[in-house]
Structure 1
């Protein structure tokens, strides 16, 4: 290795190691909140082909709140129905299905399939929209020091990391065609099979032959650096679990086959094994197939020899399982092999200064289609919390909620994977096929709320104000603290245009004070709304409005709390100016804020806007209620209009008081 030609020292508030989906999601929050941050990655480019591809409902809702779900919708493949092919007693394959979730309409979006490379593209573009933060590629962390005596000092930099910029001969590129020998440019990639917005990233930028080192001091470190996480090893957190003795191949191809369901999600089972069929964008199909069983008596922690697996071997296994149907391909976009295993870290954080996300703290087989989703949601969860704490507007106590909220979901993920993967590896006779189908459907249904993100299972914490009895909600059965706000499509009071709440509650770092104003035609209810509005505008004696009580991020928003009103009266019987001014504030330059008042009423020209939001939330259409939604769209607090002291108490435990606050 050449000697260093440059060495320096710098400070950053947040250092993110790893620019995969979880790291980029965390970086997005730094960009949105104006936090001084850096994100490094050892690879020379982003992912282009292969890797993860499953996108669950909750992830798509997050994408909508960021602002790029329309791009996913345009490019991706919807996957809501599945067929299961099993052998009959005479050995022929026959179709069972299609099977479709009974909760398929619980969200504006449906589960989709799209390459990880495209998701990284969309996240990188979103980061660029809000800051000049860029991924520093071909950079690794080499040394780590942590001064625990500085841990309680919010302005200190207790973590010191030595970074090194790799030379040309050291740098890797992800997404090559299988194997373990990365290439400077992934094999077979050129402008003909990469979308134009990725062209600039395809060609590796020129680098100095010599390396460069830099010492970086940081307040917080977020490790998103994969299953062999360097960050995790530095803080001595183990990854506990084991691998099975089954080796699987994964291949992305444009198939040439007479199998009738090659463009439908599902499985094929016969005596030769089970295939998982996943249709994808650009005519691609991903196939998961068992290729080898290693010696079960050997040490399960020893990695198998990946070089013994070839695309030809994977193709032959597919052909054997699909018989009597034929299968071949001319175009292979990507392939790899892996050993099934489930591992999890006992904690996801070190002293709430170092955080681990994604594969760095939980690994499993990719067949459940949850890895990228869980990783991104990890980054999404810790990202906004660290960003607001660093910005000086949130209490550092909220950082401890990352571990309690995300670890329980990682445990559920591994449990799901054990049940699901076991159905692919068990050796049932051909006539047991129908029984296997029933088992697969049962497993999917059992884990559906968790897998699709319809429930988060977040417990009581400074960020989640739980009732003593969750079965007796204050507002309605659909509004549970610790769970996502159930999305509905509403009409904007000012112009009648419609929009899903997933987009209304934009991921910009603000908390939402959502006023479910009920039927404002009712005199009593209108007075309740006006009294609450007086509190928000600071007109109630000895009561400080939450809009002025807490610190804000300079240059971003005047208040960290956005007020959104949703009433239930008919749209054409209500006027925008019927509502108190604090709910529709006037900007001297931009005029009235027309996007703050919404109506839960049916729209004749938009079938999704059915005027049943209050019913979905279980809220009385006359009395309504009040809730606080966290920056990640999960409900933090619910109450009645009159519970202003309880509301303030919740916010006081989360946010930092403004210097001028009382």
Structure 2
């Protein structure tokens, strides 16, 4: 009997255990896995596909997502490969029916982030996240595996040492893991032709993914017991169905085609983001990397009164091409290279809850589906995974209060509702007829209005996280003088700062790394004044534990793997760089390590830099903080503000942290 036959015929002889099982290795699943790697969690991630995504899928990246990438250390790779999209043109018929350009239109908040909208295929983004995971851990994606059975013992839910989840896994055959639609394309006659995916069409760091790297297992069937499960397995989520969480909403009555091609066209704006409107529909034009352009186009309307899905086999590549040629006329359109194409009928649906109890969580398309035309699907999915990932990971290693898990649905569900509202308004502008009877000449203005209405949400400039254990929004008006734009539950607006010890500049999106730590950010103000210097010295005394009347949060909480502490203190002062010295600050703010030396990376200056036009010394103004008195805040591991207050309010800050983090045993304090 050969090895393959032996594996197929074997039965599972034992159960395996893992703290966290992630189902689905798409954008949400990979972001959740990132946190498992950061915190050293015993975790597994399975995916039914035999390989990662190479072509197609999502391609839009919003500023907030890019800020997170910066904190994870790979945003430079996105910049190197991606296509920046900050302006959009809208082509509409004039009174004589001739297509005319309206625009370019640019976001009025283009400089609210140090990163701008970019376009890059999902496959490359997944590559970058996978590489970031490997910087922390040897966790790998187990491909070609599906979950087939599920049991959940609710009686064990409150016992954090128990494994209440039991999942049966099965290793797929090569044919099952790489179905025909993933290994073939369709020619103009509707025939299936091989997909010539090889080294020539991939970047070198994806070459190994072409090779099947299946671990030799004793069995083809495996039973896994887990403490937590995170379902990131798409719109038809197996995980969601196991816990009977529905998707509420409906499907649309329009069928859309999408193609990634290298265009052969005389249309002037084929390499510019925008739309082309015709009496029979509107095309969305999205320029991409490697001379690719993505086009979304309405193909046909279906009778959808029964709320059923259409047969995708009825749509061909030639049909999509013909529709584009009709709408873009009198300009020409053709192509020789088609990297990927698909047809879809998206439903705008949302789950009433993103969790089942305290052990089962869902993220991404598993809990919200919409059209891809708003360019938010990958962003929302990744931010879902980013949100639940660090929370589950911290609870799994015993470093955080399990009650923080309750904030996941509270924080992400309202954003998913906003996403669906945005999609309904935006997608409605692409249909053949306007129910309000508005002329096409007004379409550009309407589209701009929709975009601007949802801009803060879509770009991630605002997330609207409500008050919770992780977000303290107390009754006092802390924003009136000291922290006007530093709002608990929101991201900290990015600025570029100078390092006090070396003078080099860095964006806060990179400074505040996604390394699993909570951060105390001390905005020390102008310590050239005696009064302010005294305030900072008193704060240093308290944080160092030298004030017996107050409790210091430093060294108080359970450590996470790879770190001596759960808290890192970053100080940012507002005095001119040359008029303050590194050693002017209390030692607790620049701690000394007998091997690594002083904490030179902990003291920063909001000061002007002659050689860096982005480092203008205006961060305090952008944050709305008084340059003399400063302020203090807590950043969560995901860079959202958890608490904000004055330098003297260490007791309240510590109370916030006590509610979130697990304290060290008294004997170890």
Q: CA deviation at 1:188?
A: 2.4
| Equivalent position SS for 1:406 | helix
- Alignment equivalent of 1:236, drawn from 241, 244, 254: 244
Match in the other structure for 1:107? 113
Q: Quote the Cα distance in structure 1 between the aligned partners of 2:390 and 2:193.
A: 34
Match in the other structure for 2:399? 393
Match in the other structure for 1:528? 535
Match in the other structure for 2:474? 467
Match in the other structure for 1:137? 143
* CA distance 1:470–1:191, shift in 2 (3 Å): farther
- Alignment equivalent of 1:484, drawn from 483, 488, 491: 491
Structure 1 residues 272-281 or 429-438, which shifts more? Answer: 429-438
Q: Where does 1:88-127 land on structure 2 (aligned, <5 Å)?
A: 88-127=94-133
Cα-to-partner distance string for 1:430-479 (whole Å, 9 max, x where unaligned)? 99222111110000000000000000100000000013377955622210
Contact 1:178 1:336 (C-alpha < 8 Å) held by counterparts: no
TM superposition score normalised by structure 1: 0.96
Q: CA deviation at 1:178?
A: 6.1
Structure 1 residues 419-428 or 582-591, which shifts more? Answer: 419-428
Q: Quote the Cα distance in structure 1 between the aligned partners of 2:256 and 2:131.
A: 34
Structure 1 residues 183-192 or 57-66, which shifts more? Answer: 183-192
Q: Where does 1:189-200 land on structure 2 (aligned, <5 Å)?
A: 189-200=197-208
Cα-to-partner distance string for 1:527-560 (whole Å, 9 max, x where unaligned)? 110111111111010433211211112x411111
Q: Quote the Cα distance in structure 2 between the aligned partners of 1:75 and 1:619.
A: 37
Q: Quote the Cα distance in structure 2 between the aligned partners of 1:315 and 1:186.
A: 20
Q: CA deviation at 1:209?
A: 12
Match in the other structure for 2:275? 267
Q: Quote the Cα distance in structure 2 between the aligned partners of 1:644 and 1:505.
A: 21
Asked whether 1:506 is paired with 2:513, we answer yes
Q: Where does 1:76-91 land on structure 2 (aligned, <5 Å)?
A: 76-91=82-97
Q: Quote the Cα distance in structure 1 between the aligned partners of 2:229 and 2:562.
A: 24
Gapped runs of 5+ residues in structure 1? none
Match in the other structure for 1:405? 411
Asked whether 1:334 is paired with 2:340, we answer yes
Q: Quote the Cα distance in structure 1 between the aligned partners of 2:217 and 2:392.
A: 36
* CA distance 1:57–1:22, shift in 2 (3 Å): same
| Equivalent position SS for 1:425 | coil
* CA distance 1:210–1:518, shift in 2 (3 Å): closer
RMSD value over aligned CA atoms? Answer: 2.1
Contact 2:484 2:624 (C-alpha < 8 Å) held by counterparts: yes
Contact 2:280 2:432 (C-alpha < 8 Å) held by counterparts: no
* CA distance 1:471–1:184, shift in 2 (3 Å): farther
Gapped runs of 5+ residues in structure 2? none
Match in the other structure for 2:552? 545
Q: CA deviation at 1:494?
A: 0.4
Match in the other structure for 2:606? 600
| Equivalent position SS for 1:259 | coil
Match in the other structure for 2:284? 276
Q: Quote the Cα distance in structure 1 between the aligned partners of 2:184 and 2:111.
A: 37
Q: Quote the Cα distance in structure 1 between the aligned partners of 2:184 and 2:118.
A: 24
| Equivalent position SS for 2:222 | strand
- Alignment equivalent of 2:306, drawn from 299, 302, 319: 299
Asked whether 1:583 is paired with 2:589, we answer yes
Match in the other structure for 1:14? 20
- Alignment equivalent of 2:580, drawn from 559, 574, 577: 574
Q: Quote the Cα distance in structure 2 between the aligned partners of 1:608 and 1:319.
A: 44
| Equivalent position SS for 2:429 | helix
Q: Quote the Cα distance in structure 1 between the aligned partners of 2:255 and 2:318.
A: 15
Contact 2:32 2:388 (C-alpha < 8 Å) held by counterparts: yes
Match in the other structure for 1:357? 363
Q: Quote the Cα distance in structure 1 between the aligned partners of 2:586 and 2:194.
A: 59
Q: Quote the Cα distance in structure 2 between the aligned partners of 1:642 and 1:525.
A: 12
Cα-to-partner distance string for 1:265-285 (whole Å, 9 max, x where unaligned)? 000001121000000000000
Contact 2:483 2:645 (C-alpha < 8 Å) held by counterparts: no
Q: Quote the Cα distance in structure 1 between the aligned partners of 2:484 and 2:245.
A: 39
Match in the other structure for 2:621? 615
| Equivalent position SS for 2:109 | coil
| Equivalent position SS for 2:613 | strand
Contact 2:532 2:628 (C-alpha < 8 Å) held by counterparts: yes
Q: Quote the Cα distance in structure 1 between the aligned partners of 2:571 and 2:376.
A: 34
* CA distance 1:485–1:170, shift in 2 (3 Å): same
Q: Quote the Cα distance in structure 2 between the aligned partners of 1:175 and 1:545.
A: 56
- Alignment equivalent of 1:39, drawn from 45, 49, 52: 45
Q: Quote the Cα distance in structure 1 between the aligned partners of 2:568 and 2:160.
A: 26
Q: CA deviation at 1:184?
A: 13
Q: Quote the Cα distance in structure 2 between the aligned partners of 1:659 and 1:474.
A: 39
Q: Where does 1:66-77 land on structure 2 (aligned, <5 Å)?
A: 66-77=72-83
Match in the other structure for 1:494? 501
Q: Quote the Cα distance in structure 2 between the aligned partners of 1:589 and 1:380.
A: 33
TM superposition score normalised by structure 2: 0.95
Q: CA deviation at 1:170?
A: 1.9
Q: CA deviation at 1:248?
A: 0.3
Q: How many residues align?
A: 657
Q: CA deviation at 1:60?
A: 0.0
Asked whether 1:451 is paired with 2:449, we answer no
- Alignment equivalent of 1:625, drawn from 606, 613, 631: 631
Match in the other structure for 2:257? 249
* CA distance 1:54–1:215, shift in 2 (3 Å): same
Cα-to-partner distance string for 1:50-104 (whole Å, 9 max, x where unaligned)? 0000000000000000000000000000001000000011111000000000100
Asked whether 1:288 is paired with 2:296, we answer yes
Contact 1:164 1:214 (C-alpha < 8 Å) held by counterparts: yes
Contact 1:470 1:480 (C-alpha < 8 Å) held by counterparts: no
Q: Quote the Cα distance in structure 1 between the aligned partners of 2:83 and 2:430.
A: 24
Q: CA deviation at 1:590?
A: 1.1
Match in the other structure for 2:234? 226
| Equivalent position SS for 1:276 | strand
